Amino acid sequence: MRNIKLTIEYDGTKYNGWQRLGNTDNTIQAKIEGVLSKMTGETIEIIGSGRTDAGVHAYGQIANFKTQSMMAVYEMRDYCNQYLPQDIVIKEAVEVDERFHARYNATSKKYLYRIWCGRVPTAFHRKYTYYIPQRLDIEAMKKATGYLTGEHDFQAFSSVKSKKKSTVRELYAIDIHREGSELNMMFYGNGFLHNMVRIMAGTLIEVGLGKMKAEEIPEIMEGKVRANAGVTAPAQGLFLYEVDYGE
C-alpha cells in the first residue's frame, strides 16, 4: 500500500469548508476524494492537516491518502488538476513513508490573514481580504502581538466547546506588515484551536481601531471567556499558508 502526500491550494469561497459532510459533497475533502476514487478505482479517504471553515482559503493545505494504484505521482497530480474544479489545485504529489500522517505529524502551521485598508473597497480582492475603511493603529496592533505570543491557554480566543481537550498552544510569532492598501498578519504556532486565528485577528483589529487596549489581552486570557476577546474576523481574509513537518 502506497502513501501519497498532497500539497493543495484552494479558493474556499463557495465551499462548506474542508471537512467531508454527510448532507453535501460541497467540501474540499469530498471533491478531492471523488476524483481520487475515480482515478484509482478504490474508495479513497484523505487525511488533512486540519480543517478550514466555510469561506477560508489555503495556499498550502497538506493531506495524505493510501492507495494500491501504481500510477506515477506526477500523473496523479495531473489527473486531479484535470478533473477537479478550477478553484482546487494539487500543487504537488509525492510518495512518503507509510507512517506519515498529515494531521498527527504536523509540527507547526502558518496562517495568513489579509485586510484591505484602502479608502475605497477593492473589486478584485473582495473575496480574499477583509475590508476596513477606518484607519488602523498598526503600532498598537504590533504591541498587542507581544501579549499573544508564547505558550498560553487560548480558550478565550477559540470557539472550542469541549472541556476535555487542552486549549494550551504556543504561538511563535505574529508578523504584521502593510504593503500599499493591504495589511497582512502572519500567525505562526505549533497548533491552532477552532476559530483561534480569526478571533486573534478580530482582537488585533479592535486594538487597531481603538476599541480595545493591548494591555487588556493578559486579563482576557486569564478569564478564559470567549465573549471578552474580539470579534471573529470574516472567513474570506484567512488562508492556511503553510504546514511544517520538521523536515
**CA torsion, points 223, 224, 230, 232, in degrees to nearest 10?**
-170
Could you read off the pLDDT of 67-121 as tens digits, one per residue? 999 999 999 999 999 999 999 999 999 999 999 999 999 999 999 999 999 889 9
For the cut 80, the answer to whether the pLDDT of residue 39 exceeds it is yes
Tens digit of pLDDT for each residue in 8-37?
999 999 999 999 988 889 999 999 999 999
Band (162; pLDDT cuts 50, 70, 90): confident
- pTM of this structure: 0.95
**Given a cut of 90, is residue 160 above it in pLDDT?**
no
185-218 tens-digit pLDDT: 999 999 999 999 999 999 999 999 999 999 999 9
pLDDT greater than 80 at residue 161 = no
Q: Out of 53, 78, 137, 244, which one is annotated catalytic? A: 53
The pLDDT, as a whole number, for residue 5 is 98
* Domain 108-244 CATH (choose: 3.30.70.20, 3.30.70.660, 3.40.50.2300, 3.30.420.10): 3.30.70.660
Judge whether 176 and 142 are in contact, CB under 8 Å: yes
Does residue 31 contact residue 88 with C-beta atoms inside 8 Å?
yes
Cβ neighbours of 216 (radius 10 Å): 16
Amino acid found at 202: G
Higher pLDDT, 184 or 164: 184
The pLDDT of residue 90: 98
Q: Is there a contact between 34 and 28 (Cβ–Cβ < 8 Å)?
A: no
Given this model, what pLDDT does residue 33 score? 98
Q: In this structure, are residues 174 and 148 in contact, taking their beta carbons and an 8 Å threshold? A: yes
pLDDT for 118: 85
- Confidence (pLDDT) at 146: 97
2-96: which CATH topology? Alpha-Beta Plaits (3.30.70)
Flag whether pLDDT at 7 surpasses 90: yes
**What residue segments make up the domains of the chain, in order of their start?**
2-96, 108-244
Alpha helix stretches (DSSP H) within the chain: 28-40, 73-83, 138-148, 196-208, 217-223
Burial bucket for residue 198 (CB in 10 Å: 0-12, 13-18, 19+): buried
Report d(CA 136, CA 144) in Å as an integer.
Answer: 13
In the residue annotation, 78 being an active-site residue is answered as: no
**Spatial distance between the Cα atoms of 13 and 10, rounded to a whole number of angstroms:** 9
